[in-house]
Every structure is written in C-alpha cells, then in structure tokens.
Structure 1
C-alpha cells in the first residue's frame, strides 16, 4: 500500500485533473458537451482506432484470447447484476438499468489514458483491442436491455456495427496484416487527430459530469456502482490465468475490466427513457468512486 501515493499522483491524478478542468470550465465557457462528444465519436475515435491498430502488431491467436478474456469478464459482471437485481426483486426497468451499468465500462475516456500512464504509450494498441471488444458487447447488451420490454429486433444489433470506431477496424486490420504504409500527408493528420482523442474525451467527461449535477445517494445507486467497480476486477483477477496472456496484455485487460461505467450508458438511458436520472447519477458516482478502486487495482498489478 506504500505505492498508493505514487500511483495516485503519477497515474490517476493527471487523468482526473483533466476531468476536473472540463467540470470547472464546461459551464463557465458554455462548452457544448454534445458537440464535443460527437466530434470525438465520429472523427477522433475512428482516426485513433485506424492509426493505432494499423501499426500495432498483435498475433491473431493472442488477440482472440484477449477478446475472449474481456468478454467473459463483462458477461460475468452482467450475470452478477442480473442475480442481484433478482434477489432484490427489482422492477424490470431497474433490472435493465443494473445490467446496462454493469455491461459498459469507461474503457475509452478513462481506460486509454490511465493505461497509457500506467503501462506506457506502447500499451495503447493492446488497450484499443479491449476497448473495441467491450464496445461491441456493451452496445448490444445496453440497447437490448433498454428495449427488452418493447421487444428485440435485429436492427438494434445491426446499428452497433455502424459505430464509427468499428467501421475503422477492418481497414486498420487490413493495413496491419499487409504492412501497408500510407504517405506522411495522410498519416500525419491521422496522428494529430488520434493524439487529440484522449484529452478531448476527458474534457467532455468533465463537462458532462458538471451538467449531470451532484448525485443523490441511495441503495440502488451504491449497489449498481459496486457491481461495476468490484465484480469487474474480481472476475478479471480470478480468471486471467485461464487465458495465458503475456504480462502487458494481462495488466491492460485487468485495468479495462476495472473501469467505472461509461457516460454513453446515460445517453442510451435518456434515449430510451429508462430511469435516466438514476442511470446518470450512478454513472457520475461510479466514475468518482473509481479514484479509490482503480488505485487499489493498480497496487495489485
């Protein structure tokens, strides 16, 4: 535990300081969090995915084990959420909210910068593989959970694969496998855009949290946050040896499994009118509480 001060100052504090900057300046500068988030979602994220993955060399079998690992961990968290909601006799809407909050980790806004500071810039390619794997699973689960009372349609799942980050994946893999190098006039703008992703997402997160206001604590909020913050790392540490991952891929995977709930969950809840106030408050609280839980995970790594 003597490592905690250093971990907090060198890994977590830089990330939370940018979030705090967005939190303080967002309302004062009247930053449009929606506009900035759309810019990050439609332009910066696909540029980042293409730039990083087109140059990251990850063996196919290893990538498969990584995706299998993170998928099993998040499915385990979803199962925990379902069981606890059942034991508490939650309403269908609250059960769906529990599932959504457990399924979607903040593997972009938080995961990428924390991993970069903790494991070095070379870990970003590995983190991006985990990020994309959780993105696919989370969108399918969250959209299904939000709409389960109205019935599921194939169209819901199809929308997942129209996500800009996922559309950038096939060409990135193609350029990677064939070791194609684009001219500097193309790669340098992509490099600049990809470098802007992490600070932009952190500022946006702060502005979104400021708009959400101070969360009101209640039992459901604390339980749902605990499921995301505790079940993820507990399952990750428990099963990681099954997948025979190298040290870097192991550490990055455990960190991505330990992230708080993504802000996108609150957007999905709002769009589907699924307890939006509760979901937004829980997202905010889980991100604040992760200061403690992520520090503990980093100590054990």
Structure 2
C-alpha cells in the first residue's frame, strides 16, 4: 500500500501537533490547574531562548545561508503586510487592528513543531531561525503598529534576541560552547515545543469568536496571503529543498497569538483579533495536509 505512505507521513506531522494543542484546550475547558502566567513566562524567557540557542548552534549553515533564511523570514512578513494594506484600505478596515494579524504568522508554538515533525532536526533549526527573525519584528513593529510607537524597552527585555545574537556569534566564529552549556540549553529547550502547543490550546480555549463572518474572511486571508508571500519569497531567493519547505510552512501559519495580546493591551478590537486567531488556526489545521503534500 504505497499510496498510504504520504498520508502516513502527513499524519505523523499533523496528529502530534493537533493532539498536544487539543490537550491544552481540553485542560483549560475542564478547569484543571494551569498556571498560564508561570508557563508563558518560562516559555518566553527560558525554554524558547534555550531552544533557539541550542538549535542554531547545531546548524551546519554558513553565514550566507543564515542571512538568506533571516531575509526570507523578514520578506514573508513584510510582503504579507504590503499585500494586506491596500485590501484593508479598500474595505475601510483599521490598519492598527488587522495589519499585525495579517502580517505575523504563528511561527513559534505552531510553526516550529510542524517543521520539526516534517523535516527533523534540520527543519527545527531553520524554523527556529525563521521564528527568531519573526520575534524581533513582532516585538518592534508589532507593538508599534498597535500603539503607534515603538517600545524600545520591550525589545531590550526580549531574551530570544540575545539568544539569537550569541548563537550567531558562535556560528560565525566557530567557537565551541562548553558541553555543560549545550547540554543545559538542549534540555531546557526540549521543553519549549510541548509548552508552546499546550499554551496554544489553552489560549484558544479562552478566546471567543465574535463577528463570525468577518473573522472567517480575515482568517482565510491570513492563510492565503501567507502562502502567496512565502511562494514569492522562495522563488525570488531561489530556495530549494528543506529551506523552501520551512519558509512556505512558516509563512502560511495562522495568526500569532501575540497579535491578540497586543490588541488586548492597546484596546484594538481584541475580540476581532481573537476571532482571527481562532478561525485561522482551525483553517491551518484543515489546510496542513495539503500544504505538507506541496512541500515534503
């Protein structure tokens, strides 16, 4: 039954992502103890930076390839934003509410696990690199779009940025970190993926979809714009193989949960953004098998 092999490969990627996120969703709905503040803080400040560092230092990419991947990440986000802007203006929808959500994909707690299961350790490292560039923009341009200003202090308090900087120095200089450093960061980094997926499920369980039709339309637009932007960037940069697959997967991810947090913080119609997070995540799960067929 060779025709079942592609389905088996896709199920190996989709099912773990879905089940762990569903576990978080069900946990929240069952009102079981879940310290979201601690887990989110730990994931953002400890496990994710360790995952970024430990994954990047294991990469065998050269400096040119690192720059290419970072450029692809930035290009996907900027192109999605550029494509979304005239559409939002034409329909007289506020840019401060919708533009961040349409520009920034969920490259962390959904994109990283998907790329890990699809492409193994190499995919994980490349996905982390994509996410690192995404995180820098999301903590600079994201709040700037939502609030109309840049919060430099927030950027300087983002540990992922320092993890990326140290990892890049290690890669470019060829310095070998002590074994205890790599073992510790690897161990802590291994917590990141399940915590990301659990947190995604918990966050989705707490959201409510309002304005269903518009939320669904904007959710579909995020998926379409992300895929088209990724397709354009991989063609423009001439990317092939695993790098191409990772860029397409990451770029097509649904609306990042952080967009909801920024909308909530700056009172930019958070219920609308919550609907986009919920709707686009559901659509991404449905579209993931087809997307995986296209990239694997």
SS at match of 2:177: coil
Q: For residue 118 of structure 1, what is the aligned residue in structure 2? A: 118
1:73-124 Cα distance to aligned partner (Å, 9 max, x none): 221211222111111122x3xx222101112111010111100111112221
Q: Once the two structures are superposed, what CA deviation does each residue of 1:32-66 show, in whole Å capped at 9, x if it has no partner?
A: 22321111001101111111112212222222222
Matched, 1:211 2:206: yes
Superposition RMSD in Å: 2.0
Structure 2 residue ranges without an equivalent (≥5): none
Larger mean CA deviation between 176-185 and 12-21 belongs to 176-185
8 Å CA contact 1:103–1:141 kept in 2: the answer is no
Unmatched segments (≥5 aa) in structure 1: none
1:223 to 217, 234, 251: 217
- The partner residue of 2:49 within 46, 49, 54 is 46
Match of 1:273 in 2: 267
Bigger mean CA offset, 35-44 vs 162-171: 162-171
Contact 2:115 2:249 in 1 (8 A): yes
Q: TM-score, normalised by structure 2?
A: 0.91
Q: Tell me how many residue pairs correspond in the alignment.
A: 292
How far is the alpha carbon of 1:157 from its aligned partner?
Answer: 4.5
Looking at structure 1, the residues matched to 261 and 288 of structure 2 have their Cα atoms a distance apart, in angstroms, of: 24
Which runs of structure 2 are paired with 1:1-301 in the superposition (5 Å)?
5-27=7-29, 28-90=31-93, 92=94, 95-148=95-148, 152-153=149-150, 156-157=151-152, 159-213=154-208, 215-301=209-295
Q: Matched residue of 2:282: which SS?
A: helix
1:259 and 1:173 map into 2 onto residues whose CA distance is 25
| TM-score scaled by length of structure 1 | 0.90
Q: Is the 8 A contact 2:63 2:172 kept in 1?
A: no
Bigger Cα displacement from structure 2, 264-273 vs 236-245: 236-245
CA separation of 1:13 and 1:201: change in aligned 2, threshold 3 A = same
Post-superposition CA distance 1:118-167 (Å, at most 9, x none): 1112221111111111222233332122112xxx35xx245324311111
Question: Is contact 2:211-2:272 (8 Å) kept?
Answer: no
Contact 1:45 1:197 in 2 (8 A): yes
